Amino acid sequence: MKLLIVDSTTEAQAFCAKRIEAFNQSDMEMLDLKVKLVSERDFMDRVNEADVLVLGSGLGERGTALARQAMSTVPWLHIVMFVTDEAYGGGAFRAAHSAGVRKVFPDSASPLDFLQELVAIHAEFRREGRTREGRVVAITHAKGGVGATSIAAALTEVCSVYHRRTMLWDLDVETRDLSRSLTVNGVEAKVVSAWVNGSREISRESLKDALIPISSDVSVLMPPDRMAESMDLVCHTDGMTLVQRILELSRVLFDVIIVDTAGRMGPATGTILRSADVVLIVIDDTILGLTAVDLYLTFVKTLVGGTDRIVFLVNPYSGALLGVPQIAAELEPAHNLGELPWRLPPVPNDPKAALWPGSGRTLYSMGQKSTRVVLERIAREIGLIDTGTKAPQLPSNGAEGPSSGGWLGKLLGRSGPSRQELSGTRKDVTGGEGKS
């Protein structure tokens, strides 16, 4: 959010800006605050770039005239005005609000009141879709082995091909299937442990330190490197605040956030399912699979709090035992989800692509043409790539074997940014007196 602070003198501007310095770092990061100070003379040149205009008390009665002038040029601007404690009262309110100011504060107001107003403006921007915010897709399943991890990796590769900045979050703390399949590993996982045990704060900087870039657009966030922290993250209620912060920050840094929740239910996963834009439930077409989904849905529906964000993805076990309409017909009488959650096409069973783990590729680039087309359709349907964009040229299937690199190998080896480029040079990733 871009703030433009206007006041009569540089001292007065600095006084106004001091209130923002009083905010804590994480609040600033969450609002993505960028602050500019200008004089009355220059402000009309800058007002076009601003989301929020802050008028300082040094402007006195001229403040309302500036507000009026700004509103006539940028009608969607939000204006916050400070007045001296003496001036703070009904007269100032009437003048300010008739000029389009949304909030008047006295100079002695607590910075927290100002922060609250900025948070409210930011929340409105989010609702209106004005802030660019990453889309969170939580991938989950009722039982293991249905292909949830494979789908997470494949959709990430689709995003990469379409140059969407993507964070792939492996929350399978026990087996780390995703990280292992993509052969991703590193000291970065220690940062995640450090967040959990409290030896390091979560911030934009430390998130960058925790990320493992695997292509120019994709980074992986691994589970904590240690078991104790892993268990705390997914089983302890403290994990809820942490995952919430991770989501908020990653929404600022990425276009797409894909989380492999490994189906586990707990405080952290619950938080993710609740705040995700899409909850993608991967299911197979077996009887055991469907009865599991039946049970799973009874509590996931309550947890997610509605059905509009739930979508099913049928990944048939072998060939096609049951089609999507038949599966829907089995589950609908008990769950009444409507048609929308069933709108995705089933993923073809692709035996050749099943060998993706460890190959440096995924179901997407290893798959047949029909598999790729379906995965792209799914990515479009759940809003990961734009509907209008055309498919970029893909390496033709089988042209490059795993030995020649594939997606990961190619990008890690040659064109991808180095970890240092992405996260700056680090000597001790856990920071301070971080243990290892």
Interface with ligand ADP, residue 288, by CB under 6 A = no
Interface with ligand ADP, residue 356, by CB under 6 A = yes
Instruction: Kindly identify the residues of this chain, within the stretch 167-196, that bind ligand ADP according to CB under 6 A.
Output: 177
Q: Which of 347, 374, 375, 411 binds ligand ADP (CB under 6 A)?
A: 347
Instruction: Kindly identify the residues of this chain, within the stretch 140-169, that bind Mg ion according to CB under 5 A.
Output: 148-149
The residue type at 7? D
Judged by beta carbon, residue 78 or residue 361, the one nearer ligand ADP is 361
Residue nearest to Mg ion (CB): 149
**Residue 353 Cβ vs ligand ADP, minimum distance, rounded to whole Å:** 6
* CA trace torsion 146, 150, 151, 157 (10° rounding): -170
Annotate 219-267 with DSSP letters as a single string: EEEPPPSSHHHHHHHHHSTHHHHHHHHHHHHHHHH-SEEEEE-TT--SH
Give the C-alpha separation, 32 to 28, whole Å: 6
Q: In the structure encoding, which two tokens stand for residue 318, read together?
A: 């072998």
Asked whether 102 and 244 are in contact (CB, 8 A), the reply is no
Judged by beta carbon, residue 307 or residue 349, the one nearer ligand ADP is 349
Interface with ligand ADP, residue 423, by CB under 6 A = no
**Residue 317 Cβ vs ligand ADP, minimum distance, rounded to whole Å:** 9
Give the C-alpha separation, 127 to 20, whole Å: 24
Q: Which of 157, 177, 217, 255 binds Mg ion (CB under 5 A)?
A: 177
Interface with Mg ion, residue 232, by CB under 5 A = no
Give the C-alpha separation, 149 to 172, whole Å: 9
**Residue 30 Cβ vs ligand ADP, minimum distance, rounded to whole Å:** 31
Q: Which of 212, 221, 231 is nearest to 173 (CA)?
A: 231
Residue 160 DSSP class? H
Choose the stretch contacting ligand ADP; rule: CB under 6 A; options: 2-10, 50-58, 160-168, 345-353. Answer: 345-353
**Residue 380 Cβ vs ligand ADP, minimum distance, rounded to whole Å:** 18
**Rule CB under 6 A: which residues touch ligand ADP?**
141, 144-150, 177, 315, 347, 349-351, 353-354, 356-357, 363
